[in-house]
Amino acid sequence: MKFLKIKMVFFTIFFVACSESNNFKDNGVVVTRHHLASDVGAKILKEGGNAFDSAIAVAFALAVVNPSAGNLGGGGFVIYFKNNKLFTIDYREKAPIRSSRDMFLNPEGDVVKGLSLESYLASGTPGTVAGLIQLHKDEASMPLEKLIAPAVILATEGFKLSEFQAQYLNKYAKKFKKNKEAEKIFVKEGGWRKDDLLIQRDLGKSLSLIAKKGSKAFYDGDITKKILNDFKDNGGIFIKEDFSSYEIRKLEPLCGTYKSYEICSMPPPSSGGVAIIQMLNILENFDVKNFSHSSLEYIFLLKNIMSFAYADRSVFLGDPDYFNVPVDKLISKNYARKIAEKIKNKETTKIQPGMLIKESEETTHFSIIDKWGNAVSNTYTLNGAYGSGIVAKGTGILMNNEMDDFSQKPGYPNLYGLIGSEANKIEPKKSPLSSMSPVIVSKDNMPYLITGSPGGSTIINSVFQEIINILDFEMSLEESSNKNRIHYQWQPDIIFYEDLKPEVLKELEYDFILRKRKLGEIQSILKTSEGYRGYSDLRRPDGKSIEIH
């Protein structure tokens, strides 16, 4: 009888464990900023592919349907979860071998306007293709050609533009007209309209080459030759070795704890992981649940926390292969307690005169989880909208303008108004500092929140506030997305906001700028009592979340 009871207890525990496990492993979710890319990723999951297969297909599809940020000619970061472990791939762009610290300065030592943004000197060596091929090599279950095939079709046969995309292409027509190849593809006489077909045949050919030959096609093949020839003919400094010697980095995920959760993101050269963990460590010294969301006290607290994190970012962060970044100190609980005491004593960081941020919301993020619990959080970019606006002749590939993310001159702000220092100066084969912040929040050794955002310098704060909304205020993804956000980055001394009450604005006594395009654009997946649920931020109209059961 005693044995029977023990046996019954064992089977009860086993049944409950299996039920709970199945509750969270019987569905997949794909969330991206473009509905066609979400459809592609969801189809892969439905056909038995894993989250990594889906991620690869989504990334190549976004290079076609979201050309302002999805890319082959840029770079990014991915953090992923598999078998109770977290992994990363750093496929950030690297400075050309012939680059130099003062390459964007005139003889008088002043920054030459536009040189780091819209010239053939603006691009770093792209890493996206290498990163995606590495992910395929390590984790995929489906052939590469199958995963790239949807992107080839979308590029070759074209896809219908949304109202937003049509307007966005028209907005940047002047930029495209500076480059004949870009003009041929992205400028339409009379302007683009909703439901117009965008066809990118050269890009389709490039994708087909990558599908057949992998990284070799991009880094030591026909695509390489075309990029090198075009840049050589137009004053660029790329050489063959920039491509043949490019290597991704597999870095240890940067993790911290916040209450009962583990927060993991990318280490440098991404600044997102350090800053988000640092800010959450500081916040842990305050009982945030006692604050009313968007109240005067709450906004003031967030502003001060952001100020210290962004000040440290500007001084201490850079490519760890070239600069000794004090990561352990910056994300330590003890350091956070000292900053929290300063905030409580109303001490602030010293502000120097800054410049107004030149806005760009580009970069794109997607989040994916499959029925086995594998999860992917990926952020990649061209930097500014459509990168440099330059399409390498014969490739259909828009090139990045990531060289602007370096410190062109100590104290001089980049596209996003961010100030840099010696840690982020230009050096050959070095990666520029990034704000990209793909995050996986875990609880009980399982993904709980998979999240990330575009938005340049606002990425870090957008993701930070998403985490607070979900973990502290216990909001749903939809509720969190609909809450207003703020952004403060130490310099310039301005609070950017979406929607704050007049009395709050008045009491804060700061310069304010209303963000008409909104702050960030979160693409998140959250573990709920009913399984995993996704939500695509409505700040941009074309996104889509798909759940697969």
Q: Would you call 128 a catalytic residue per the annotation?
A: no
First to last CA, the chain: 41
- In the three-class reduction of DSSP (H, G, I as helix; E, B as strand; rest coil), residue 407 is classed as strand
Q: Which residues contact 8 (CB under 8 A, 6 or more apart)?
A: none
- What is the side-by-side strand order in the sheet with 486-487? 486-487, 494-497, 511-514
* Rounded Cα–Cα distance for residues 227 and 443 (Å): 45
Catalytic one of 363, 379, 381, 451: 363
Q: Which residues contact 73 (CB under 8 A, 6 or more apart)?
A: 123, 126, 128, 382, 387, 392, 397, 398, 399, 400
Which is nearest to 165 in space by CA: 70, 72, 75?
Answer: 70
* Rounded Cα–Cα distance for residues 258 and 465 (Å): 14
Which is nearest to 442 in space by CA: 79, 112, 35?
Answer: 79
Do 536 and 458 meet the contact criterion of CB atoms below 8 Å apart?
A: no
- In the three-class reduction of DSSP (H, G, I as helix; E, B as strand; rest coil), residue 200 is classed as coil
Helices (H), 394-471: 459-471
Q: Which residues contact 503 (CB under 8 A, 6 or more apart)?
A: 296
Which is nearest to 537 in space by CA: 482, 497, 498, 469?
Answer: 482
Backbone φ and ψ for 87, nearest 5 degrees, come out as -135, 160
Per-residue CA distances from 229 to 75, 122, 294, 392, 402 (Å): 21, 16, 53, 9, 20
Which is nearest to 546 in space by CA: 61, 29, 27, 25?
Answer: 29
Which is nearest to 366 in space by CA: 33, 28, 27, 29?
Answer: 33
Query: Omega into 269 within 30° of 0, i.e. cis?
Result: yes
Give catalytic residue positions: 363
